Structure 1
Amino acid sequence: MKKVIFIGLIFSSLLAIGQTEEDDYDTEITWGVNKNTNSGLVGGVIFKLARRKKENTFVTYGVELMNVKHPKEWHYPSATTGTRFVWGKANYLYAIRGQYGRERVLFKKAPQQGVQISAVAAAGPTIGVVAPYYILYNGNYVQFDPERHQSFNSIQGSGKLFQGLGESSIVPGANAKAGLAFEFGAFKNNVAGVEVGASLEAYPKKIIIVPTQENRAVFTALYFSIYWGTRR
């Protein structure tokens, strides 16, 4: 009986040491890419710094850069050049989001294996950058205007990359999100995983992206992010 108790104590000590080593970090830095229901193939990029507050709780500071699309954006090839453009689009909406939040570890993974599941929530200010969307119309680069550019066949393509960014207007807003993070990292100092959840973003006025369609001041979305990083 004494031997069983002794072996049990040793085993418990080893588990405790292993868990301490696995949790022996206070800071986590991650970055990645985002896909959401208001985006194209790639919604944007994300960055997050997390600092331990309690044993299973982290304070997080994040920045996200997103290209927010209208659900009625459709790409068409030009009849004359074959270059693709978005019919009816007048503006881009780029959202620069600052986020402050919490991350709570719900299920810890075993050392060097398994999946760690955490609940995440964050909110903060948004800088909405509204940039004109240019098209090539009768040989000239112009911002799309539904009153003037009614001839579909006269559009020869879209504008150049970042064209019109210098003419952007700024609209302040706010954002919030909540979700679950699944970490699959096999090494103590490396992080890799996915995050899924829902987000909300609001502006004081409607953002005109496609003038001929209904536009919104509040954007809701489901999102999926893939991230990597380090911890120390």
Structure 2
Amino acid sequence: MRPFLYSAFLLTAALLASTTAAQAQEAQDTPGYQKEFTYGINLNTNAGLIGGVAVRSTRRITDDWARFWILEGVEVKTRKEQRVQNNIGGVYVRGKTNYLFALRPTVGVQRTIFRKAAESGVEVDGMLGAGPSIALLLPYYIYFDYTPKPDPQTNPNPREDIRPEQYDPVKHADVSRIYDRAPIFSGIGDVKPNIGAHLRGALNFEYGRYRDAVAGVEAGMLVEAYTKRLVTLEVPPTPTDKLNNNVFTSVYVTLYIGSRK
């Protein structure tokens, strides 16, 4: 996933830069809108196929400058996670004790680099923004099989006892008894928040043939840091500080659609 996003970012930048350079001479008209609202899906190097969702509002200040805010919600995974499948088809992540979700409200400025023609083409904008990061540690639950072994004398047919519990690599050391991963929101009542901050820089490639509709790609890099280490993995005897971080970097791509006026 990570090499794919890096390659997509570089290829998109190269192709669209060459296209917009040819359009720059004829795209001299001023923007025909003052506000823009978009929403889309996020792909990044710290997540799976789809990392999360994002909404963005942009307001023009001048012909070339705008200010924006973004609200983004994504799942953050470490590259040390290892998915394991047991002999009955159940799948879980070895040593994972918590999911990590991040809410990122961002405010920033946007500078138009190449302006598209009124009804067609591609506009390229540079974006720089920052804001707080709110990390939510949600307990990672598994189904653990406590069913006792059959005893021909006292209990030949033991009653099945499979319980959902937060994964504890010490308590659940007998991995042969891990039945499956429990639903993602099983531990919703025990969410632990953490506060941090982030900085992002991106290129925004905007497509569209009409003044009231917009679609495009935002491709960039993000770094965020938290006040303490966010523990999502525990794999004894490896120290937790070798498996978990409080600083995260990622390359991301957001595919979006929206409207403006």
Please report the TM-score for the alignment, with normalisation by the length of structure 2.
0.79
- Partner of 1:205, secondary structure, is coil
Residue type of the alignment partner of 2:57: L
Alignment of 1:122-137 (within 5 A): 122-137=129-144
Aligned to 1:47: 55
Q: Which amino acid aligns with 1:117?
A: V
2:258 alignment counterpart: 229
- Cα contact 1:39–1:69 (8 A) shared by 2: yes
Instruction: Give distance in 1, aligned partners of 2:175 and 2:213.
Output: 51
- Alignment partner of 2:92 out of 85, 97, 105: 85
1:102 corresponds to: 109
Shift of 1:33: 0.5
Is the 1:116–1:184 Cα contact (8 Å) retained in structure 2? yes
| Residue of structure 1 equivalent to 2:164 | 141
Counterpart AA for 1:19: D
**Equivalent of 1:150 in 167, 173, 192:** 173
> Are 1:214 and 2:237 an aligned pair?
no
Task: Structure 2: give runs of 5+ residues left out of the alignment.
Answer: 1-25, 146-161, 236-241
**Matched residue, 2:214:** 191
Structure 1 Cα separation of the partners of residues 142 and 36 of structure 2 = 43
Q: Is the contact made by 1:79 and 1:156 (CA closer than 8 Å) also made in structure 2?
A: no
1:143-179 Cα shifts (integer Å, max 9, x gaps): 1112122222211111123111121011011111101
Question: Is the aligned partner of 1:117 residue 2:140?
Answer: no
Tell me the distance in 1 between the aligned counterparts of 2:102 and 2:184. Answer: 18
Instruction: Tell me the secondary structure at the aligned position of residue 29 of structure 2.
Output: helix
Residue 106 of structure 2 aligns to which amino acid in structure 1? Q
Q: CA deviation at 1:219?
A: 0.4
RMSD: 1.5
Q: 1:32 aligns with which of 9, 30, 40?
A: 40
Identity of aligned residues (%): 36
Asked if the contact 2:80/2:243 (under 8 Å) is kept, the reply is no
Amino acid at match of 1:224: V
Aligned partner letter, 2:29 = Q
- Which residue among 59, 73, 94 is the counterpart of 2:81? 73
Q: Secondary structure at the match of 2:223?
A: strand
1:111: Cα distance to partner? 2.2
Between structures 1 and 2, the one with greater strand share: 1
- Number of corresponding residues: 214
Deviates more, 1:197-206 or 1:69-78: 69-78
Distance in 2, Cα, partners of 1:158 & 1:146:
14
- How far the C-alpha of 1:193 sits from its partner, in A, is 0.5
> Helix, strand or coil: the match of 2:176?
helix
Out of 141, 166, 169, the position equivalent to 2:192 is: 169
State the AA in 1 paired with 2:142.
Answer: I
- C-alpha distance in structure 2 between counterparts of 1:215 and 1:27, whole Å: 41
